[in-house]
Structures are given as C-alpha cells and as structure tokens.
C-alpha cells in the first residue's frame, strides 16, 4: 500500500436486513482514498453511497459481510469495539445530512465538543478541553462566545460548521460528509464548500464527500467515484470524469444536470428506474437502461478495472474491458 | 400493475388465468403477509397472536358460561370453605343396593325407620336434624307425612354396616371418608347422597367453595361475562362520545376547540377511579350505571388522539382541499383521516377495555354498583378477603382471572402498537 | 398549627422558592410561560369543582334522604335541607358552593359527630401523602431503570422479559396484589404487619404535628415510632409502587427507544462516545422530558390506586375516608374530599409543567 493512501477499501460488501430480506447495499467495492484529497462519492438515491460512507466507520445499520477496511494500516473489520471507538471521532469524523437533528438539543455546543475531546483524551482538564473547543470553533468561523448556547439557537449552516468542528476536534485525519449540503440553501452551501476546501488546503484533512449533486462534486472534489446499485462503476479525477466520461451511467448522470444554455431541447432523462436491490438484473446491473448495451452485458458482470495504463481512471463496463475478457470467455 | 401491450410472448390463456390467480393471492396474501410479519416482528408477533387467542377464549367463555361452568354460581352446591380438590368429609346416607330411595325425603311416612349410626358420631345428630327439618318442610307445605327415625347406636362402623347388610336397619348414616375406607368389603351397599341434601354430592371442586358453599370455579366462569360486558360497553360508549368530539374539535378549531380541550384535559388529569366512585355512588347500584361511570373516564383519551390526528391531517390536506372543489373536502377527509385514525383508535380500544375491567373490578370490590349476589370477581375478592387466612382460594382464583383477562387485552394493544408504530417499525 | 397547613407548607414552601428562583433567573419567555401556566390552574380547579358539583347535585337522588334513611322525621329532614341550602335555586347553590371552595369552608360531616371536614381531612391527607410519595419513588426507580435496560436491549430476550413483567404487573388489580402480599408476607411469613400505620402501643407515645408519622417521629426523635411507621409502610408502598412501576417501565422504554432512533444519538456514537454514556446521558435525559409530563398524569392513577390500597391495608388516608363517607351517604364530606383531590391534582399538574419547562431548554430560550 502506497504511503499516500489513507484508507484502502478492498472488496467490501455491506448488507442490512429489511422486511423482505437481506439487502446487499454495497457489493465488492475496491476503493483507495488518498491522503489530503477530496473524494466525491456520487450516485442516485439508494445506490449505496450512504451505506458505504457509514461502513467506513462501521456504523449501523449496515453490516460488513466481506472485505477489508484498511485505515492507515489497521483493518477496521478485525479490531475490537473498544479500538473502533477510539478511532471514531478522533481520527475519522462524520458530518450528517440533517443539521437540525444531528445535535443533542439539551446539550450546549461547548459540551458537545469538550465531551468528545475528553472521551478520547481523558487526561485533559475541563478548562483545557474548553480552550481547544474555542480554538476549533473559531477556525470554522463561529464566534467563540457563542459556544455556550444550545443547538436550536443556530442556523442550519452554522450547525453544519459545528458538526465539522466536532469531526475535527481531535486529530481528524478523515472526514466523511454524508450529503452535508442537501438541507442548506445555495448561498450557505457555497460557503460551506469553501470551508471544506480551506480545511483541505490548510489542515490537510482528507474528505469523502457523499452527494447526489454533481455540481457540488465539480466544485471541490479532486477525484470522483460513481456508484450504481451498490457497485462502483467509475472512478476518475474530476477533470477526467467530466471530460472523458467512460461509463454510460456516468454519462447519463452528467447529461441529466439542467444546463443553463437550454435552448428548448427537452431535459435529458435516463430511461427506466434504479433496480430493486433484492432482485438485481443479471450481468451488469445497468444493462436494462444502458443506451450502449451489448449482448455480453446481460450475461456477465463486468469487472472494475483501469481503462488506461496509468490506472487513474477505472470503470466497470464491457465497452472498455472487451478485449481481455472475451478471450477468457472463449477458453 | 403495468399493462403488457405486447402480447407476442404471452403464455396460453389457461396458464394466464392461473398466473393471475397466483398474483392476486400474493397481493391479498394475508397468509403470506402474516408469515412474513412473524419473521420480521419476532416476539411481538407472538404477543399479539397469543393475546388474540386469549381474548377469543375469554369471549367464548363469556358467551357460553353454561357450557363450561359445572354448577350454578348462585347456588350452594357443596360444603362451605372447601379447599380446591379436597373431597369433603360429609355425613352420608348408606343404603342397600337395589333400594329405590335416594334421600331422607323418600322415607317419609308414618312408620319409624330403623337407622344405624355410630355412637357419638356427628352423623347421628345430623341425620336426626335433617329428619326434623324435612318433616317441618313437608308439614309447612301441607304434606302430612313425617320422617321418623328409630335410631340404633352401634359401637363401630363395621357393626352398623353389617346390620344394614343383614337388614336389621333400613339405612345408615356415617362419615363418607370412613365409609370410603371400608367400602370394598361391602359391595352390596352404596352411598345414596349427603344427609343434608343442600351440601351437594360429595365431590371435590376444582377451585374449592366459598363461604356460602358456592363453586368458586363456576363463579369465576360466570364472572367473565360481567367483566367483559362492563369492559366492552364502557369502552364502546367512550369511543362513541370521544371520537366524534375529537373530530369536531380538530376540524372546527377555534373557541370550541379550546373550551372542549380544556375540559377534557382537566378530566384526563383527574384520578379516574375517584370520579368513577363518585358517579357510581350517586347513580346507585346497577350495571348500567357502572358502565356509564367508567365510560366517562376514557372519553378524554379518545378525544385527544383523534383531535391530534385530525389537526395534523387537516394541516396537510387543507391546501390541496382548498384547490379542489369545496364538496370534496369532506370526502377527502373521510378517506384520509380514517385510515390514520383507525389503527390508533383500535389500539386505544384494546387497552381501554383492559383498564375498564380493572376499574370495574375496583368498583365492585368497594361494593359499588353491582347487586351483592352477582357472580363478579371484584365482589368475590372483597367477600373472600376477611377469610383469606383460612381459605386462600376464594380470593386467589378470581384475582388470577382478572389478571389474565386484563393481560390479554393489554398484550393485544401493546403488541399492535409495537407493530403499527411507523417510527419503530423498520429497525 | 393545622396539620393540613403544615403538610402544604412542607411541600409548598420549597416549591414556591424554586418557582421564584426560576422566575427571577429565567428569560422573559419563561416568565410568561410560568405566569400563564399558574393562571391556567385556576380554571382547571374550577372546572373540576364544577364537575363535582354537577355530579353530586344535579343527578337525581336526594342526599338528605339517602343519608338519614327512613330514620329522620320530615321536620328534621326539612331542617337539614334548609341548612345545606338545597331548597335554593341551582344557581345560588352553585355560587355558594364555589364560594365555599375558595374559602376552604368544607362544612361539617353529616354523620359521626359532625366533625368539621377540614379537621378530618387534616388527619387523612398527610396519611395519603405519606403513602403516595414513597410509592411513586419506588415506581419511578424500578420503572425508569428497567425501562432503559429493556429499551437498550430491544427485541432481545431481556427486553421481552421486562415488557412481560410490566404488563403482567399492571394487569393485576392493586387490591388483589395487596391482599396477596398481606397473605404471604404478613400472615404466612410474618415479616410485616398486616395493616394500619403504626403499632397501637407505640402510637400512644407519638406526638403528632404534621400527621405524617415518619416525619413526626423524626421530629420528636422517637425512634421506636419511626421504625414502626416505616415497617408499616413497606407493604402498602410496595403494592402501589409495583403496580405503577409497570406503567413507568413501558413509558420509559418507548421513549428511550424513540430517542435512540434520533440522529444526534447516532452522531454521538460516531464520535466514539461510550455506549453507556450515550444511553444514560444522552438518550435517557432526552427521553425523560416527555416522560416527565406523563408522570404528572400518572398521579391520577396513583391516587386511584391509593384509594384501593388504603382500603385493603386499613390505612387511614383520604381514599379510605372517601369510600367510607360514600357508604354513609355523607354528602358534604364526599363533596369536599373530591374537591380536595381536584386541587391536589391541579397543583401537581402545574408543578410538572413547570418542571418540564426547566428540563427542555427549547422552551426556556
């Protein structure tokens, strides 16, 4: 594992139980998260990106059924609950989608912070922890004298900043942001994204940004991973994804974004609907909706493999894997 | 269900019909859904299932008490304070096999009947007392006959029985247990019945008898009917009054809503039993009054829940309703509010019945409301309390009955609530 | 000093101090809330008192005849009716009734020596308090503790066990449980007394001030009396407390389960906070807020249960007094006792609402 990979996800599958049976929300995902990057994780609702994000911290409701989660050398699937707890909040932090409900309504902001700090650094005194809290809150643009207030006294945007400050209160190597701006209005969202960029540049924080909004990803991500029906279908730098999109689903996704230059042409709409995770199509899960579908697509699932020699752009599509695998098929 | 316009690949008509039927089953599939529900909800499903079985059982008992109760609950059918399963030691009449007589009355006439007893045994006095009693009864009724005995005293039971076999005496009176012990040696003799015919047949009772000689088991069975009548009726009345009031208040709003809610809140906070006691005491003893008294207590519960749901639904649909034709408002509300309200009301109904039964038992325990001879659990417990040191069974079995019946309805309500609650459902 | 007043003072003065403290230190919105809430108590009491009036006087049945029975001569009955004002028009009766309520003029008992009802209540009310308070504490402790346990172990064996326990115990009639406990622990095992508040002999040595025997014996340092009173308290408190614990267990469990589903709980876990801290400090504290309001309503159940418990244990409190007076058709006493209950309930309701406003900062700021 190269030194600049912070988190190596290998062949990860995550399931959770529903009334109709076990759903495999994440299926055999291979992904490397590099230090100091902002990785965007995009896809439609129900594609598994949220479950994957939560699984990075082994949060419920998903259960890891196979694969490895190598965070800075430690396999999170194999460590004890106590060790897991030590990592959560200290080295990996999470920012949730709904700022209105993510904070304890009867706890002051400062107490949220000092509690987190002192849970992971019990030797620190209350006063010391408070100083650190003031420091981090200030860094994130909140006036230090407000930390004695309660969550309901803050606006949505401010609350998201508080959430980030909680995620970074300690060492904060990695921040997983699960749809952080969905509940915010556009201007606040822009400010929030600026903040994320600053954090990356100044503090070297690695961020996984989970969103269904391509625009957000285009703004600040370094690399983008596209998910569909629990599988990773494309992984590329943001530049490559937009300029030389490979997977038909990614293409469809990008075309779906309303264009300001609309000249009367209809909005593009992908045919069909996301599949039922309990009854996936055979072969490639996207094949029923794919405008470039081939015979093999409904029979064999395409492997997730690099398309170019440098390995920085990978996709799971028979359009780009044909050569090597059809040889395998014949033999 | 999408309509498949492309008929090229359709299977032949008979198969289609079959497939359609299978599809329908899956759609209506109560069994399918029940089985899936069982796996998903786990023990809660069992709670509800067991509760339903229990409730059904109790309802059956309440509808057909005569089928299950072996005796009339108001009659004395055995000796007083007999323990469960205990065979009473009675004084019985022993006769020769083949003798047509069944009790002392059959010996009424002008002659003196030779009777064998053990000297000094209680049976000797009992048989004489009974003879006098029967004579009085007959004479009082205009019958001139008398039951006169010529008592022959023996030293041991064996002598008495020997004399009976031989014919020196026409009948014998002795202790049933003593006779049981030697009955094998006298195959020609049988027990005709107890000396005192009021005392019943000398059998044991499943739950014993109370201080009036009544069968506790029969009283418990018959008590089910009273308890369920009170429970159901009171809850129904509450529902009939509370739900419309709640709908009205939620829908109309404004001053009416405020005033009604204030009254209901005050009522809700007040100790139910005390209010029920007051009402029952004032109205006087009758089952209808008890039902009314209890019904008043639960009106606020229905009112609050229905009002709350009406309010929230009203908020949501109001805008839409305003846009559509005015007449449609009522229809929309009936079609949307009802499905929301019905499960909650059903749950409250179930729990209410449980509460009503408890309150009813409390009221009858305090002696309010029911005529004292009614076979009711609360009455039985209150009458049995002073005697509980000697006869623990008189209060125990009715109490267990109350507990089980209330448990059944509470489990039903609890289980349903856990299953229906949307927030708690899918985790 | 009248024991009734004393009892009110013992609980009332700290409450008043607390109220003033909150009022002074709170924000304007909190003050407004307190004032409104206190003001609302008055209509509540009025409504309840009016309901009592309605029930007792308008519903058919002549109270004088039912109380005196066939014994009284027509002249005596007429005199009584005049005394009670029953010949006056209903409105006049109602207004004079309200006036009596406000001035706490409860009249005299119609039978048994015609003692002023206030005095009788002065003796009985503290007795009921002495029973209810420990019972409520027992119920709360068992209920909240086990309710949280059950909520945390949701859908596992112990959860169902606790839920079954709570349902079974709530399904038992309180008077039946009391009788069983007396039978088992009082008669068969002889571990506890079977009735009454205190040993009769020791009673003669005890000087009564508040009429709460534990308090009185502590005040006069009469240790024998203290232990006897405590000993007599065990079974009745356990009876009432156990039954109510079922309710609190269910309530707590449901609220903790719902709170556990909240995002901020998951967020706290995501920060690595210990599971136990998450449960007790975050989830429970938040869950308790709605439970507190509901506790206020459980006082109603508590009082109802107290009536039955007092009857079973021969406990000379307000509940048993009420039942007794009803049996004697003592109309004046019954009316006054129920009004007393109503006032008590209204005050508790007020206290609970104010407590709620203190716990939830969203109301405060």
| DSSP of A163-180 | HHHHHTSS---EEEEEST
Q: Cα distance from B43 to chain A (closest Cα, Å)?
A: 15
Q: What is the pLDDT of residue A294?
A: 83
Q: Which two tokens stand for residue A19?
A: 């009334």
Number of separate domains in chain B: 2
- Both structure tokens of C233: 């308290």
The secondary structure of chain B, three-state, reads CCCCCCCCCCCCHHHHHHHHHHHHHHHHCHHHHHHHHHHHHCHHHHHHHHHHHHHHHHHHHHHCHHHHCCCCCCCCCCCCCCCCCCCCCCEEEEEECCCCCCCHHHHCECCEEEEEEECCCHHHHHHHHHHHHHHHHHHHCCCCCECEEEEEEECCHHHHHHHHHHCCCCEEEEEHHHHHHHHHHCCCEEEEEECCHHHCCCCCCCCCECCCCCEHHHHHHHHHHHHHHHHHHHHHHHHHHHHHHHHHHHHHCHHHHHHHHHHHHHHHHCCHHHHHHHHHHHHCCCHHHHHHHHHHHHHHHHHHHHHHHHHHHHHHHHHHHHHCCCCHHHHHHHHHHHHHHHHHHHHHHHHHHHHHHHHHHHHHHCCCCCCCCCCCHHHHHHHHHHHCCCCCHHHHHHHHHHHHHHHHHHHHHHHHHHHHCHHHHCC
Interface contact A18, partner B, CB < 8 A: yes
Domain interval for residue B168 = 91-199
Q: Which residue of chain A comes nearest to B40, CA vs CA? A: A19
Residue pair B395/B380 in contact (Cβ under 8 Å)? The answer is yes
Residue-wise burial string across B228-262, b where 16 or more C-beta atoms lie within 10 A, e elsewhere: bebbbbbbbbbbebbbebbbbbbbeeeeebeebbe
Contact between residue C92 and residue C360 where contact means Cβ atoms under 8 Å apart = no
A64-73, A116-125, B416-425: range with lowest mean pLDDT: B416-425
What pLDDT, on a 0 to 100 scale, did the predictor assign at position B224? Answer: 92
Residues B416, B278 share a domain: yes
Q: At B217, which CATH number?
A: 1.10.3720.10
Q: Are residues B142 and B229 in the same domain?
A: no
- Comparing alpha-carbon positions, the chain C residue that sits nearest to B289 is C59
Residue B96 lies in a domain: yes
Q: Do B36 and A61 touch (CB under 8 A)?
A: no
Does residue B46 belong to any structural domain of this protein? yes
User: Which regions in chain C score pLDDT beneath 70?
Assistant: 1-4, 7, 55-72, 76-77, 80-88, 90, 101-115, 363-365
Chain A interface residues (partner C, CB cutoff 8 A):
57, 59-60, 85-90, 93-94, 96, 98, 101-107, 115-116, 119-120, 149-150, 152-153, 163, 166-167
b (16+ CB within 10 A) / e for B177-206? eebeeeeeebeebbbbbbbbeebbebeebe
What is the CB neighbour count within 10 angstroms for residue C171?
Answer: 22
Kindly state whether residue B242 falls inside one of the protein's structural domains: yes
Kindly give the parts of chain B with pLDDT less than 50. 1-9, 22, 25-28, 423-427
Rounded (5°) CA angle C47-C51-C55? 175
| Whether B280 and B372 share a structural domain | yes
**Is the pLDDT confidence value at A72 over 50?**
yes
Look up residue A140 and give its DSSP letter: T
Whether B107 and B156 share a structural domain: yes
Give domain status of residue B415, yes or no: yes
Q: Which of C264, C269, C289 sits opposite A101 (nearest CB)?
A: C264
- Give A-chain residues touching C269 at CB under 8 angstroms: 59, 88
User: Considering B169, B199, B229, which residue would you say is the last residue of a domain?
Assistant: B199
Residues B192 and B269 in one domain: no
CA distance from start to end of chain B: 29
Within 13 Å of residue C223, how many CA atoms lie on the same side as its CB?
Answer: 0
- Whether residue B30 is contained in a domain is answered as no
Span B109-137, pLDDT tens digits: 778 888 888 888 888 888 888 888 888 88
Same domain (yes/no): B400, B292: yes
Contacts of A166 in chain C (CB under 8 A): 267, 271
Q: Positive or negative CA dihedral for B158, B159, B164, B169? A: negative
User: Contacts of residue A278 in chain B, CB cutoff 8 Å?
Assistant: none
- In tens, the pLDDT along C76-115 reads 667 766 666 666 676 777 777 777 766 666 666 655 556 6
Same domain, B245 and B167: no
Q: For chain A, where are the E strands, in sequence order?
A: 5-18, 21-34, 38-42, 63-71, 74-75, 92-95, 174-178, 206-211, 223-228, 231-237, 305-306, 314-315
Residue that is last in its domain, among B199, B223, B240 = B199
Does a structural domain hold residue B138?
yes
**Phi/psi of residue A92, nearest 5 degrees:** -120, 130
Residues of A in contact with C272 (CB under 8 A): 85-90, 116, 119-120
Contacts of A59 in chain C (CB under 8 A): 266, 269-270
Whether residue B385 is contained in a domain is answered as: yes
A272–B contact, CB cutoff 8 A: no
Nearest CA-CA distance, residue C156 and chain A, Å: 16
C-alpha distance from B269 to closest chain C C-alpha (Å): 6
- From B132, B164, B199, give the residue that closes a domain: B199
Q: Say what the pLDDT of residue A330 is.
A: 47
Query: Min CA distance, B66 vs chain C (Å)?
Result: 26
B 12-51 → A contacts, CB under 8 A: 36, 40
Characterize A161-180 residue by residue with b for buried, 16 or more Cβ atoms within 10 angstroms of its Cβ, and e for exposed.
bbbbbbbbbbebbbbbbbbb
Query: What pLDDT is stored for residue B403 in this prediction?
Result: 94
Residues B223 and B334 in one domain: yes
Task: Flag whether pLDDT at A292 surpasses 90.
Answer: no
Whether the Cβ atoms of residue A25 and residue A42 lie closer than 8 Å to each other:
no
Both B65 and B118 in one domain: the answer is no
Residue B317 lies in a domain: yes
- The domain that holds B117 is classified in CATH as 3.40.190.10
CB A12 within 8 A of CB A24: no
Residues B247 and B152 in one domain: no
Strand partners, B153: B117
- Looking at residue C323, what is its pLDDT? 85
Same domain, B319 and B393: yes
Res B26: pLDDT: 47
Q: Are residues B264 and B411 in the same domain?
A: yes
Whole-prediction pTM: 0.76
pLDDT at residue B426, as a whole number:
39
Q: Domains of chain A by range and CATH? A: 5-91+170-330 (3.40.50.300)
């Amino acid at each position: 594992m190269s030194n600049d990979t912070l988190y190596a996800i290998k062949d990860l599958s995550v399931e959770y139980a529903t009334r109709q049976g076990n759903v495999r929300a994440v299926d055999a995902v291979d992904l490397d998260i590099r230090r100091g990057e902002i990785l965007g994780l995009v896809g439609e609702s129900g594609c598994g990106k949220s479950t994957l994000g939560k699984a990075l911290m082994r949060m419920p409701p998903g259960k890891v059924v196979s694969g490895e989660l190598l965070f800075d050398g430690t396999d999170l699937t194999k460590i004890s609950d106590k060790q897991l707890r030590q990592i959560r909040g200290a080295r990996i932090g999470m920012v949730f989608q709904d700022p209105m409900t993510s904070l304890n309504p009867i706890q002051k902001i400062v107490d949220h912070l000092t509690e987190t700090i002192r849970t992971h650094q019990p030797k620190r005194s209350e006063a010391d922890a408070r100083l650190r809290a003031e420091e981090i809150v200030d860094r994130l643009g909140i006036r230090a004298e407000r930390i004695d207030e309660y969550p309901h006294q803050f606006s949505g945007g401010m609350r998201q900043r508080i959430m980030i400050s909680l995620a970074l209160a300690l060492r904060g190597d990695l921040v997983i942001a699960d749809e952080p701006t969905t509940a915010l209005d556009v201007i606040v969202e822009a400010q929030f994204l600026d903040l994320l960029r600053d954090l990356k540049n100044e503090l070297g924080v690695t961020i996984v940004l989970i969103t269904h909004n391509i625009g957000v990803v285009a703004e600040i991500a370094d690399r983008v991973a596209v998910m569909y029906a629990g599988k990773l279908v494309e992984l590329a730098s943001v530049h490559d994804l937009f300029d030389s999109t490979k997977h038909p689903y990614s293409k469809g996704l990008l075309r779906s974004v309303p264009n300001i230059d609309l000249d009367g042409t209809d909005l593009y709409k992908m045919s069909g609907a996301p599949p039922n995770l309990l009854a996936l199509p055979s072969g490639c899960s996207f094949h029923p909706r794919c405008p470039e579908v081939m015979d093999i697509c409904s029979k064999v699932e395409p492997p997730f493999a690099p398309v170019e020699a440098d390995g920085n752009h990978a996709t799971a599509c028979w359009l780009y894997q044909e050569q090597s695998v059809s040889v395998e098929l014949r033999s | 269900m999408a309509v498949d316009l492309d008929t090229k690949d359709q299977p032949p008509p008979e198969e289609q019909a079959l497939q359609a039927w299978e599809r329908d089953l899956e759609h209506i599939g109560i069994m399918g859904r029940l089985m899936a529900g069982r796996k998903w909800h786990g023990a809660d499903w069992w709670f509800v299932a067991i509760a339903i079985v229990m409730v059904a059982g109790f309802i059956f008992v309440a509808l057909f008490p005569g089928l299950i109760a072996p005796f009339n609950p108001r009659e004395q059918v055995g000796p007083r304070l007999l323990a469960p399963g205990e065979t009473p030691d009675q004084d019985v009449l022993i006769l020769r096999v083949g003798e047509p007589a069944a009790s002392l009355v059959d010996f009424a006439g002008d002659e003196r009947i030779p009777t064998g007893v053990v000297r000094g045994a209680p049976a000797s006095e009992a048989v004489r007392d009974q003879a006098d009693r029967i004579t009085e009864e007959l004479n009082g009724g205009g019958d001139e006959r008398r039951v006169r005995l010529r008592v022959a005293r023996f030293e041991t039971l064996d002598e008495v029985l020997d004399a009976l076999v031989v014919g020196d005496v026409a009948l014998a009176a002795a202790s049933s247990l003593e006779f049981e012990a030697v009955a094998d040696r006298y195959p020609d003799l049988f027990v005709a019945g107890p000396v005192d015919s009021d005392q019943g047949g000398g059998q044991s009772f499943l739950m014993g008898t109370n201080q009036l000689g009544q069968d506790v088991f029969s009283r418990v069975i018959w008590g089910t009917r009273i308890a369920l009548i009170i429970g159901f009726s009171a809850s129904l009345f509450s529902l009939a009054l509370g739900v419309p009031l709640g709908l009205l208040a939620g829908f109309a709003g404004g001053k009416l809503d405020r005033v009604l809610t204030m009254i209901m809140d005050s009522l809700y906070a007040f100790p139910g039993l005390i209010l029920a006691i007051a009402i029952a005491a004032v109205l006087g003893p009758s089952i209808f009054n008890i039902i009314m008294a209890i019904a008043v207590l639960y009106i606020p519960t229905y009112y609050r829940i229905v009002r709350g749901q009406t309010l929230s639904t009203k908020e949501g649909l109001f805008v839409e309703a305003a846009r559509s034709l005015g007449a449609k408002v009522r229809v929309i509300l009936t079609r949307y509010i009802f499905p929301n309200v019905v499960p909650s009301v059903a749950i409250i109904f179930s729990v209410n019945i449980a509460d009503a039964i408890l309150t009813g038992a409390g009221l009858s325990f305090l002696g309010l409301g029911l005529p004292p001879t009614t076979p009711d659990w609360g009455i039985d417990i209150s009458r049995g309390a002073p005697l509980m040191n000697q006869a623990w069974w008189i209060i125990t079995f009715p109490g267990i009955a109350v507990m089980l019946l209330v448990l059944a309805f509470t489990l039903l309500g609890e289980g349903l609530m856990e299953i229906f609650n949307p927030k708690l459902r899918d985790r | 000093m009248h024991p009734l007043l004393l009892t009110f003072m013992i609980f009332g003065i700290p409450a008043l101090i607390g109220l003033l403290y909150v009022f002074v230190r709170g924000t304007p919105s909190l003050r407004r809330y307190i004032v409104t809430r206190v003001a609302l108590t008055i209509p509540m009491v009025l409504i309840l008192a009016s309901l009592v009036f309605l029930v007792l006087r308008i519903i058919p049945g002549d109270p004088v005849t039912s109380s005196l029975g066939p014994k009284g001569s027509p002249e005596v009955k007429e005199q009584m009716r005049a005394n009670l004002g029953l010949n006056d028009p209903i409105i006049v009766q109602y207004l004079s009734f309200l006036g009596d309520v406000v001035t706490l003029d409860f009249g005299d008992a119609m039978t048994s020596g015609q003692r002023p009802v206030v005095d009788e209540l002065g003796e009985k009310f503290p007795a009921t308090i002495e029973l209810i308070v420990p019972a409520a504490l027992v119920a709360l402790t068992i209920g909240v503790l086990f309710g949280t346990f059950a909520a945390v172990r949701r859908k596992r064996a112990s959860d169902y066990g606790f839920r079954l326990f709570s349902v079974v115990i709530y399904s038992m009639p309180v008077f039946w449980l009391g009788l069983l406990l007396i039978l088992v622990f009082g008669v068969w095992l002889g571990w506890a007394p079977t009735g009454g508040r205190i040993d009769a002999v020791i009673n003669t040595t005890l000087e009564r001030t508040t009429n709460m025997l534990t308090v009185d014996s502590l005040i006069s340092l009469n240790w024998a009396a203290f232990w006897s009173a405590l000993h007599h308290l065990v079974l009745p408190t356990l009876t009432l407390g156990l039954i109510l614990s079922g309710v609190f267990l269910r309530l707590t469990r449901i609220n903790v389960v719902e709170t556990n589903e909240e995002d901020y709980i998951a967020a706290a876990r995501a920060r690595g906070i210990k599971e136990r801290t998450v449960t007790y400090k975050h989830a429970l504290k938040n869950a308790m807020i709605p439970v507190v309001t509901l506790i206020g309503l459980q006082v109603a159940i508590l009082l109802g249960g107290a009536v039955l418990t007092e009857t079973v244990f021969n406990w000379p409190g307000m509940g048993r007094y009420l039942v007794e007076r009803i049996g004697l058709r003592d109309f004046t006493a019954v009316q006054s006792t129920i009004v007393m209950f109503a006032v008590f309930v209204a005050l508790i309701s007020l206290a609970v609402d104010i407590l709620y406003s203190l716990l939830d900062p969203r109301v405060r700021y």
